[in-house]
Structure 1
């Protein structure tokens, strides 16, 4: 799902315990979403699957909606599947891929990527896989027969090849099942020793908060059906470009990116073959809550084991002693900037005015700084030298001198910056939860 207007729309995502069908009106594609530009009270409901009104023209102002007059949500009848006894047939190799990026963006994994997934399932001793928007993976597992899988997909053509015990027409943006979901619930029920994992490959234009909401809802359903504590983790593989990692971690901070570069057979850029392929390989990665040290990447595919990180990394990813990590994300060999005290892309240059590395010299410093998070207070929109919170704290603490811009603003030393200053605790208190950090000034 993408935005077709210049003004950014905000999105209301309810708590996981709430049922969207009870709170929102429905269109033919299930419960709608509530969008707004200023406040939720001025919002409107629109289709969750189609942002193009030519594909679904449903729109209702929030002021016109009365949930007491809602219509019951209809569940479709599963079509008569024309299945074949030859389970090795894979229709994704014959069907024309649906190519509307706003809705389907249907791209299929290549064979090496399928091998990667099967390697991980074997290493993690996975017994069942929910294939959410990954039809080729489902048919691959169906053919090999070693792991059970269930396909949730928005392409109704797969109903012609699969039975209700392994497929349901599904909208991942609102967790809506178009057919009865009992077969899927039966699949989610596991024996005491069985392990289940969800693999999802959403359209890259999708709002990440919607996918995160759906994954949490499926986790809750799985835990309820198996009588597990509500917060019991469920293994997740979320396929997305590395440069969207900040959006994913904002919604699911427990997910980390694996170095493996996933290739598609029918995408010119997201692959390492062909004249239009990226010189540093596909940007698509797997974000997962599975500890990265448990994943197995093949050396013959261009990966190595880092003894210091204790995990597999890409060959070009060199270990940084200062960061204590193999920091590269995009297929290049990163370099460590002593001023920023982090690893950055090799073509980046350091701007002393911005106190950051940027992709080019001569940039608009004011605009660049407006998009940065302050290393002192953690807020977006300024850098440390313009931090009003810090200036107030300086006055309250009666700081005796101002330090040079090139040094640490907290202690004045030049060997580190404010993010790694050992005296931070005197001025800022930080809380950490599942990879997310909240910074609060101590004297406000």
Structure 2
């Protein structure tokens, strides 16, 4: 069960090897997802397509209480290779250079990496010692790598079956981990690999829910470990996604960290550094990974540097903050440290005394803005420190500066008195806070 608090939507995903009694109904795109809306009382679930949330693309919709198991007869078993076209694979160095890119942003929009991004990703594969690559929704990278490394393409575009045999390609829905063809060739690809030899590179449509993609990544890890008789061992992951989705990714996979490298596409007007419509601070697309960032090398010729204090590569605009102890920028701008917030913020932000934070503009609605913030005391979203119920009963004597000690040179997050009031647990980049 997963939750996206922004949409008040709960969803339940079927495991690949689920018991027959627990299997979900199928649409043309594999097992459906069971959705719930918290705003509906009583909460009623419904099954819908995992890949297409637009009813014009897939109109499957079934109330959960109407699902009677296999009696509906809509199980969709794996197809046998060869592809439905029956053609032999066509020899081509890279068909993505000539194929018309799919353009449905919600499910299968195809934006292809530019040459610099391809070289960057290939170099990182070499740096971490990966010898086999799963390209999940990254066809151009597969054709770039296949001459030097062993690569397998998992993609929802059936046209690639005309260019690749079953030992390199399987029609695949990454939103529900569904193999449309026989998955045995893919399982054979996984055989004999250790966790440090295999790398998953995924470039999902940015409209995909992060809960679905993270579930698929975990399912592939389980499959790899089972085939190779390994314990619960993590696999290296490169997840290509916009930087502003970082919180959604970390909510599902706290171990993922963001690399500063900006991924550019050849056929997107905004996600590139070329053209009049490109963003002033470059593409917002980054690479999230569970690989230690210290192992990644960002090219100096493209505007990256090595930070001696952080001991990793970062963008040249990303200035190190001694107070924060890191290079804090995430969007390509040079952040500045606000002495009132005691944190680095975007250069155009303005501090609001009432909200105790820097905001995008002056004259904003403080009450509404505060409902979107995480409290620096208890860590919960929906209020700021002066409204914290977990601390209000303690009747702080301090009205300015830090509410815990009254000093002006820091805020509650850095206060040495925190341990008197809160117990914090840190695990895999995730922090939980409890009142003492």
Over residues 207-262 of structure 1, what are the superposed CA-to-partner deviations in whole Å (9 max), with x where a residue is unaligned? 000000000000111111111112x1100000000011010000001000000000
* Aligned position for 2:419: 425
Q: Contact 2:263/2:286 (CA < 8 Å) preserved in 1? A: yes
How far apart in 1 are the matches of 2:332 and 2:87? Answer: 43
Residues 190-199 or 359-368, more deviating = 190-199
How far apart in 2 are the matches of 1:97 and 1:16? Answer: 31
Q: Contact 1:13/1:209 (CA < 8 Å) preserved in 2? A: no
C-alpha change, 1:133 and 1:335, in structure 2 (3 Å) is same
TM-score by length of 1: 0.92
Q: Contact 2:13/2:212 (CA < 8 Å) preserved in 1? A: no
Could you tell me how far 1:66 is from its partner in structure 2?
2.1
Over residues 127-168 of structure 1, what are the superposed CA-to-partner deviations in whole Å (9 max), with x where a residue is unaligned? 0000000000001112xx221100000000000000000000
Report the 3-state secondary structure (helix = DSSP H, G, I; strand = E; otherwise coil) of the residue aligned with 1:122. helix
Could you tell me how far 1:8 is from its partner in structure 2?
3.2
* Aligned position for 1:343: 344
Could you tell me how far 1:181 is from its partner in structure 2?
0.4
* Aligned position for 1:402: 397
Q: Contact 1:16/1:216 (CA < 8 Å) preserved in 2? A: no
Q: 2:89 aligns with which of 83, 91, 106?
A: 83
How far apart in 1 are the matches of 2:417 and 2:164? Answer: 61
Could you tell me how far 1:14 is from its partner in structure 2?
4.5
Over residues 348-404 of structure 1, what are the superposed CA-to-partner deviations in whole Å (9 max), with x where a residue is unaligned? 011010001111111110010000011111111100001111012x0xxxx5x6212
Report the 3-state secondary structure (helix = DSSP H, G, I; strand = E; otherwise coil) of the residue aligned with 2:433. strand
Structure 1 position 56 matched with structure 2 position 58: yes
Could you tell me how far 1:13 is from its partner in structure 2?
2.9
Structure 1 residues 253-268: aligned runs within 5 Å:
253-268=254-269
Report the 3-state secondary structure (helix = DSSP H, G, I; strand = E; otherwise coil) of the residue aligned with 1:287. strand
TM-score by length of 2: 0.94
* Aligned position for 1:123: 127
Structure 1 residues 90-169: aligned runs within 5 Å:
90-142=94-146, 145-169=147-171
Report the 3-state secondary structure (helix = DSSP H, G, I; strand = E; otherwise coil) of the residue aligned with 1:42. coil
Over residues 91-112 of structure 1, what are the superposed CA-to-partner deviations in whole Å (9 max), with x where a residue is unaligned? 1000010001111111000000
Q: Contact 1:41/1:62 (CA < 8 Å) preserved in 2? A: no
* Aligned position for 1:3: none
* Aligned position for 1:23: 23
Aligned length: 424
Could you tell me how far 1:73 is from its partner in structure 2?
3.1
How far apart in 2 are the matches of 1:246 and 1:20? Answer: 33
C-alpha change, 1:41 and 1:366, in structure 2 (3 Å) is closer
Report the 3-state secondary structure (helix = DSSP H, G, I; strand = E; otherwise coil) of the residue aligned with 2:305. strand
C-alpha change, 1:302 and 1:255, in structure 2 (3 Å) is same
Report the 3-state secondary structure (helix = DSSP H, G, I; strand = E; otherwise coil) of the residue aligned with 2:425. strand
Unmatched segments (≥5 aa) in structure 1:
1-6
C-alpha change, 1:367 and 1:277, in structure 2 (3 Å) is same
Over residues 156-184 of structure 1, what are the superposed CA-to-partner deviations in whole Å (9 max), with x where a residue is unaligned? 00000000000000000000000000001
Report the 3-state secondary structure (helix = DSSP H, G, I; strand = E; otherwise coil) of the residue aligned with 2:249. helix
Unmatched segments (≥5 aa) in structure 2:
1-5
Q: 1:217 aligns with which of 216, 219, 222?
A: 219
Could you tell me how far 1:16 is from its partner in structure 2?
5.7
Could you tell me how far 1:69 is from its partner in structure 2?
3.1
Could you tell me how far 1:193 is from its partner in structure 2?
9.0
